[in-house]
Chain A
Amino acid sequence: MCSRFRFLLVAVLIVILFSGLVVLFLPRPHPPTASLENAKLAFDQAAKADALRYAEQPYRMAEELMQKGWREMARQNGRLALFRNYEIAESLLTLAIRTAKEAAFQAQERNRYLDSLARSESADLQSELWLCRKILDGSLVNFKAERHWSLADLSLKMSEVLIDRGEYEEACQTIAKGKESLRRLIDLLAADTDDEAQKIGIWRLWVQETLAQSRRKGTYAVIVDKSVHKTYLVRAGKLVQTYNCDLGYNSARHKILAGDGATPEGKYRVTAVKSRGSKYYKALLLNYPNELDKERFEENKNKGIISSHAQIGGFIEIHGEGGKNKDWTEGCVALTNSEMDHIMQYVTVGTPVTIVRRSDLWP
């Protein structure tokens, strides 16, 4: 019994020893540590490429695959060498590398796309701004339109800083706001054009009447065309002299109340000739507000367009100190001092002065 047990024990020991030798000398599969390191590296590169922000889905997937591959590799490491199989771990890690690279690529592409989109949109806004500036500079001053231009200009400046800081999506949103402001500006200008189209007939009539009266009586008359900043002196319906003039700082509008900075539009006449004592060299006082202005003012008040406390204003003159090449008065028409000297020789109390925003008629 004892010898049999010894024999059994020796046999078991030999088998264990032999198995051990076999296991020791059998070719062992190597854990995919290099793949794991590569996966970590690819994942880091994806993180650096801002994949979390621009390619979150593949980024998260790469992270998960890397974790799974790593754990699978560790699980195999824990097994007896004979039973280790790293194929799944290797596949997971390879997939993790590929996905991380894809995430990095997608992030870079998105980044590049947004960068170029933001830059081109910014350039677009800049050229639109420039164009609108040209339109605004070439037309009468419209304060509301100027406000929209300022907003768009600030949006452009802001977007440029955002682009420099890599905040492309925000930059695009800011540019969109700027473009929206310009769209409103264009709408305002279009509304002005519509308004002009509606009123051009009345202005034409005013100019015709003024010229006819001058022709009939052989007297002097003054016609101001706001759109071209010109003041015409006519005698007997014929042009005598043309002067450049500055207008109210809100010149695109017809004056409706005191302090609006607009030059009135209508048929007026000179009520006083100030050869001295004017703050602005010399002046010709007009009868603003005339009956039509008063009617319109009351109507606007009743409709609630203007405040019930608003004043209609007055003291609209043709005066000196002009030639600044911009609209700066509070509604008056400003000529240079030498031009004032010239016009004062011909204009007297009662001389008709017709102011229109635009005139398609001679003079």
Chain B
Amino acid sequence: MFKRVAVVWAVFALLTMVSCGKAPEEEMQKANTAIEVTRTAEAEDYAPDAYRMAMDTLNAAMAAKEEADGKFSLFRSYGKSKELLVRAEALANQAATEAQAEKERVKGEVTNLFTQAKAVLDSADMAVKKAPRGKGTKADIELIKNDLAATTSSYEEAKSDFDAGKYAVAKTKLEVVIQKARSVSEEIAKAAAKKTRR
């Protein structure tokens, strides 16, 4: 009889030990690291939806882990938590990739604008240098030179913004710079036409 009872207890203890699943520490660490990488990649700004999805999944995974932690060891299972942590890690990686890609896209767009702005500024500068000078146009040309100097200084400001990672601001400034440089070129053409008429 004693043997039977002992066997029952042994089986019960074994079951308890077997069912006491291991907490998904490794998965948790991986998921948290992935989220950190996502934050460093500025996913909150550049891929907010993907970031939120990853965060929600991580939160759900942590909740599942807490739920499992709270259970009696015989019924404890971290399966769901593990699955969610793996998914959160994948989503975080995806968000980081998306953010990086979006950042690169914006950066590329602004870089293109820089090239465009430089070309327009150079052409306006060249036009100013080549502009026919003489009485009547010199005053106009000097005023245009002032505008061009102001535009060039804004271009430099946009460069500083770009270097500081303020891509949206740099983009806005460059758009204005391009517009202004074009109008400067038009003014030069007008001044030149005036000189030709004379």
A binds B: yes
12 extra A-B contacts, CB within 8 A, seeds A73-B63, A74-B67, A147-B150: A5-B1, A47-B48, A75-B67, A78-B66, A78-B70, A151-B150, A151-B153, A154-B180, A158-B154, A167-B172, A326-B139, A328-B139
In the complex formed, the residue of A with least CB distance to B70 is A78
Per-position 1/0 for A311-349, Cβ under 8 A of B: 000000000000010111110100000000000000000
Interface residue stretch chosen among B20-28, B89-97, B101-109, B140-148: B140-148
Chain A residues near B150: list those with CB within 8 A.
147, 150-151, 153-154
A330 to B136, CA, bound (A): 9
Q: When the two chains form their complex, are residues B62 and A71 in contact, meaning their CB atoms are under 8 A apart?
A: yes
Which residues from chain B sit less than 8 Å from chain A, CB to CB?
1, 44-45, 48, 52, 56, 59-60, 62-72, 135-136, 138-139, 142-143, 146-147, 149-151, 153-154, 166, 168-169, 172-173, 175-176, 180
Residue contact B142 to A249, C-beta cutoff 8 Å: yes
Q: Are A327 and B69 in contact (CB under 8 A)?
A: no
B180 in contact with A157 (CB, 8 Å)? yes
Chain A residues in 8 Å Cβ range of B149:
147, 150-151
Distance, CA A162 to CA B166, complexed state (A): 13
Contacts of B138 in A (CB 8 A): 249, 261, 328, 330
Q: Cβ of B71 and Cβ of A167 under 8 Å apart?
A: no
A328 to B191, CA, bound (A): 12
Q: Does A161 contact B (CB under 8 A)?
A: yes
Which listed residue, A2, A70, A150, touches B59 by the CB 8 Å rule?
Answer: A70
Nearest residue (CB) in B for A177 is: B157
- Shortest 6 CB-CB distances between A and B: which pairs? A78-B70, A249-B139, A74-B63, A78-B67, A74-B67, A74-B66
Known: A47-B52, A77-B67, A154-B180. A146 touches B136 (CB 8 A): no
Asked if A125 CB lies within 8 Å of chain B CBs, one says: no
Q: Are B176 and A161 in contact (CB under 8 A)?
A: yes
How far is B137's CA from A329's CA once the two chains are assembled, in angstroms?
9
Q: Can you name the residue of chain B whose Cβ is closest to the Cβ of A162?
A: B172
Name the distance in Å between A38's Cβ and chain B's nearest Cβ: 15
CA distance A147 to B149 in the complex (A): 8
Chain B residues contacting A66 (CB-CB under 8 Å) are: 59
- CB-defined contacts of A1 to chain B, threshold 8 Å: 1
Instruction: Establish whether residues A78 and B71, one from each chain, have CB atoms under 8 Å apart when the complex forms.
Output: yes
With a CB–CB cut-off of 8 A, which chain B residues contact A147?
146, 149-150
CA gap between A167 and B56 in the complex, in Å: 29
25 A–B contacts, CB within 8 A, in A order: A1-B1, A2-B1, A44-B52, A52-B45, A70-B63, A71-B59, A71-B66, A74-B66, A74-B70, A143-B142, A146-B146, A149-B146, A150-B143, A150-B147, A150-B150, A151-B150, A154-B150, A157-B180, A158-B172, A158-B176, A165-B168, A249-B139, A327-B139, A328-B138, A330-B138
Q: Nearest CB to that of A5 among chain B residues?
A: B1
Shortest Cβ distance from residue B111 to the other chain A in the assembled complex, whole angstroms: 19
With A74-B64, A77-B70, A167-B172 as known contacts, state yes or no: A150 contacts B146, CB within 8 Å: yes
CB contacts (< 8 Å) of A326 on chain B: these are: 139
Contacts of B64 in A (CB 8 A): 74
- Chain B residues with CB under 8 A of A154: 147, 150-151, 154, 176, 180
